[in-house]
């Protein structure tokens, strides 16, 4: 199956919300598999070594997802309320800033995971558990 046909099949079977949840869930799972070693590393040098082992690519992918969401939120056609859009754009900017700190070995990954998990729960339509 060609990539175009695959994308068309996905878009015909999943809503944009489901696609966002799936993509964010996948990158979050990848980050979860690597974050403990990084967050518990004794030095920033140890953290930088872990980044070189593939974690950097995962973090960049997470940041690209957030940049894409931020760009979508800024579109006039986005139907979310202005307050929700502003809050999510602010969150996307925070993710970008925090990720840069992680990539320098200065910040921990767990706050990024916490944000992603909250958004995933919201996309699942489970507002009672968004802030767990």
One DSSP character per residue, 13-31 reads HS-HHHHHHHHHHHHHHHH
Q: Are 59 and 103 in contact (CB under 8 A)?
A: yes
Q: pLDDT digits over 28-87, tens only?
A: 999 999 999 999 999 888 999 999 999 999 999 999 999 999 999 999 999 999 999 999
Q: Where does residue 62 rank: exposed (0-12), middle (13-18), buried (19+ CB within 10 A)?
A: buried
Radius of gyration of the chain (CA): 16
Give the predicted TM-score (pTM) of the model: 0.82
The number of angstroms, rounded, from the C-alpha of 111 to the middle of its chain's C-alpha atoms is: 11
């Amino acid at each position: 199956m060609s990539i175009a046909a695959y994308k068309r099949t996905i878009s015909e079977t999943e809503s944009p919300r489901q696609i966002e949840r799936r993509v964010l869930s996948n990158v979050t799972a990848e980050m979860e598999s690597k974050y403990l070693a990084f967050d518990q590393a004794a030095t920033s040098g140890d953290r930088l070594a872990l980044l070189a082992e593939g974690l950097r690519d995962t973090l960049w992918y997470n940041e690209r997802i957030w940049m894409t969401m931020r760009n979508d939120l800024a579109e006039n056609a986005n139907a979310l309320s202005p307050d929700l859009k502003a809050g999510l754009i602010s969150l996307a900017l925070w993710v970008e800033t925090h990720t840069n700190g992680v990539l320098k070995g200065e910040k921990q990954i767990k706050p990024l995971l916490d944000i992603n998990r909250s958004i995933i729960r919201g996309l699942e339509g489970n507002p009672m558990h968004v802030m767990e």
